[in-house]
């Protein structure tokens, strides 16, 4: 088990909540066996819901596992008297997510404290919220995440509309820019990020495991989704990636929202990609080109073979990332 360098040992057991100032899938190349990734290759709800039939569980440490294949990478941390879950997959995989969490948690669920953290508001990360709330999980997220999960949001670039979650499926424990520290009993820092992918994003750093769950601030090896409807932007993603790099050391294991397990060098490559996109857009920004003019020029087409193998090809990513 890799421990975070310089991190202290949690002195409290259970889910003790405190606001902190923390400034702060998955083919496990180098980490273990390959696993299935949710097939989200087209930007529409029907295909986004077409996840594989079977979920897969990967062990990072004895008490920390990753569940893949439900729409986004889900982390499950267990102790003798607690279960802590990060993200909740697609709505149509909700029962499968709960079954997988139950299987991983085992005896930890019996009378123990149960908490679910949503990294952001998107439907493929909150799909099992309602079922998990019914199973006794307290749902945690940023204040903005709770607000957005109560709104109807039109995602024009994806041709989708995000509908409000019922009250019982929304985050009942929230935090603002100061973040939050949990003790499960290992320390987990929940760090709120400025608007980047959305304006709701927060990440989870397991300080004693040296594991970082980025949510959708990292689509490893893929073009990321940028949700302009909720404040997402290319500049925001560049800034967020720099912040993520600053939270890591060479031994940090990174669970991305989507894509394969990552290390800090993958964040560095993602940052270089985003900055390359900015450079390619610069001549169009300088002449105040319309989005239609940019799409016709296809400035990112040469990047598709490397970065366009995930959820988005360069045309849709251009719609999301071009500043306007």
Residue 8 lies in a domain: no
Whether the ω angle into residue 185 lies within 30 degrees of 0, i.e. cis, is yes
Show the tokens assigned to 5. Answer: 């360098």
| Res 53: pLDDT | 66
Residue 130 lies in a domain: yes
Residue 217 lies in a domain: yes
Show the tokens assigned to 165. Answer: 């979650």
The CATH number covering residue 89 comes to 3.60.15.10
- List the one residue out of 55, 104, 59 whose CA is nearest residue 78: 104
Token match 């990020």: residue?
193
Residue 289 lies in a domain: no
- List the one residue out of 91, 152, 97, 88 whose CA is nearest residue 120: 88
Residue 49 lies in a domain: yes
Show the tokens assigned to 177. Answer: 């820019």
Phi, psi (rounded to 5 degrees) for 67? -105, 125
Is 201 buried (19+), middle (13-18) or exposed (0-12) by CB count in 10 A? Answer: buried
Residue 54 lies in a domain: yes
Residue 102 lies in a domain: yes
pLDDT string in tens for the chain (324-residue length):
333 333 332 223 233 333 332 222 322 222 222 222 232 323 334 344 444 568 999 999 999 999 999 999 999 999 998 999 999 999 999 999 999 999 999 988 887 899 999 999 999 999 999 999 999 999 999 999 999 999 999 999 989 999 999 999 999 999 999 999 999 998 999 999 999 999 999 999 999 999 999 999 999 999 999 999 999 999 999 999 999 999 999 999 999 999 989 999 999 999 999 999 999 999 999 999 999 999 999 999 999 999 999 989 999 999 999 999
- List the one residue out of 55, 33, 198, 178 whose CA is nearest residue 121: 198
**Cα–Cα distance, 102 to 106 (Å, whole number):** 6
Domain containing residue 189: 45-282
Residue 97 lies in a domain: yes
Q: Are strands 113-117 and 82-86 parallel, antiparallel or unpaired?
A: parallel
Cα torsion 269, 274, 280, 285 to 10°: value is -160
> What predicted TM-score, i.e. pTM, was given to this entire model?
0.85
**Cα–Cα distance, 113 to 79 (Å, whole number):** 10
Q: Are strands 74-79 and 82-86 parallel, antiparallel or unpaired?
A: antiparallel
How many domains, in total, are found in the chain? Answer: 1
């Amino acid at each position: 088990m890799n421990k975070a360098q310089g991190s202290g040992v949690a002195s409290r057991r259970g889910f003790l909540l405190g606001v902190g100032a923390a400034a702060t899938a998955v083919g496990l190349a180098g980490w273990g066996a390959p696993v299935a990734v949710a097939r989200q290759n087209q930007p529409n709800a029907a295909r986004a819901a077409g996840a594989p039939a079977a979920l897969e569980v990967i062990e990072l440490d004895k008490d920390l596992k990753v569940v893949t294949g439900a729409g986004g990478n889900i982390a499950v941390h267990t102790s003798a008297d607690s279960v802590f879950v990060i993200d909740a997959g697609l709505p149509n995989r909700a029962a499968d997510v709960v079954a997988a969490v139950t299987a991983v948690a085992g005896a930890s669920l019996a009378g123990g404290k149960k908490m679910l953290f949503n990294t952001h508001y998107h439907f493929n990360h909150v799909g099992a919220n309602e079922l998990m709330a019914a199973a006794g999980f307290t749902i945690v997220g940023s204040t903005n995440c709770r607000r957005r999960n109560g709104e109807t949001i039109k995602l024009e670039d994806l041709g989708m509309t995000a509908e409000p979650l019922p009250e019982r499926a929304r985050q009942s424990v929230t935090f603002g820019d100061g973040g939050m520290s949990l003790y499960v009993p290992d320390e987990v820092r929940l760090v709120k990020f400025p608007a980047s992918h959305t304006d709701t994003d927060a990440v989870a750093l397991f300080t004693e495991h040296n594991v970082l769950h980025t949510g959708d601030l990292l689509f490893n090896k893929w073009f990321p989704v940028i949700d302009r409807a909720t404040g997402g932007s290319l500049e925001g993603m560049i800034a967020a990636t720099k912040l993520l790099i600053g939270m890591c050391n060479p031994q940090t294991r990174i669970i991305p929202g989507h894509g394969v397990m990552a290390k800090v060098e993958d964040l560095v490559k993602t940052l270089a990609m985003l900055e390359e996109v900015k450079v390619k857009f610069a001549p169009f920004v300088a002449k105040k080109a319309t989005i239609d003019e940019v799409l016709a020029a296809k400035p990112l087409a040469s990047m598709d073979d490397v970065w366009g193998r995930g959820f988005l090809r360069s045309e849709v990513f251009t719609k999301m990332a071009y500043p306007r």
